[in-house]
Chains A and B, each alone.
Chain A
Amino acid sequence: AQTVTQSQPEMSVQEAETVTLSCTYDTSESNYYLFWYKQPPSRQMILVIRQEAYKQQNATENRFSVNFQKAAKSFSLKISDSQLGDTAMYFCAFPSNAGGTSYGKLTFGQGTILTVHP
């Protein structure tokens, strides 16, 4: 079974600084995708970034980038130039088929609460 581990329950950063959130996972699959979602106080989960495992290049989306190390099964999220609106809970997620017929199941890490201070 796939597992996803986020070892940092809480992180804080000053506005405009850079912060890195860690995530490790375990899978026997060779071709897969990984996601980072954020959940602000409004509770609505929003996709931050997606990485395809067979791609060597790390994904980037504006101020968000990942450091994907397939051999180490590590998938960290870097947020540059942090903004107050980045305050949220961040989840690393891995889609799996749970023995079913699709990949509609996401396995989430425990989450990291990120607070950006002015």
Chain B
Amino acid sequence: KAGVTQTPRYLIKTRGQQVTLSCSPISGHRSVSWYQQTPGQGLQFLFEYFSETQRNKGNFPGRFSGRQFSNSRSEMNVSTLELGDSALYLCASSFAGGRDEKLFFGSGTQLSVL
């Protein structure tokens, strides 16, 4: 079974641009969540999608958005990039997002904003 796939692995953008990151979950998994990891703030939850609906949202500005498609693949978008958006963005999937479920993580997208 293929793992969680995130593309691209690395991305360099300039301030003011927008970016779209992609995540393909493990086959059969319907819950996809996104996390931002920075040295200063650590791992912070962005949002979670299940069956194309956002079920949970973290404390990030509206510039951060996401969506999930009918095949459970998910994308997150960051508009009007700021220097502080430079981070490793991790995607994780699980069958249904239950509290006892193990999350399977991708290897992340490293975003650098110049």
Contacts and interface: CB of A to CB of B under 8 A. Distances in A.
B105 A104 contact: no
Interface string B23-45: 00000000101010000001101
A104 B50 contact: yes
Interface of B: 31, 33, 35, 42-43, 45, 48, 50, 55-58, 88, 90, 92, 94, 96-100, 102-103, 105-108
A42 B107 contact: yes
A35 B98 CA distance: 13
A111 B42 contact: yes
A43 B99 contact: no
A52 B98 CA distance: 13
Nearest to B53: A101
Given A45-B90, A98-B58, A103 B99 contact: yes
Contacts of A11: none
Contact of B98 (A46, A91, A103, A108): A103
Nearest to B3: A44
B102 A47 contact: yes
A104 B102 contact: no
Interface string A66-91: 00000000000000000000000001
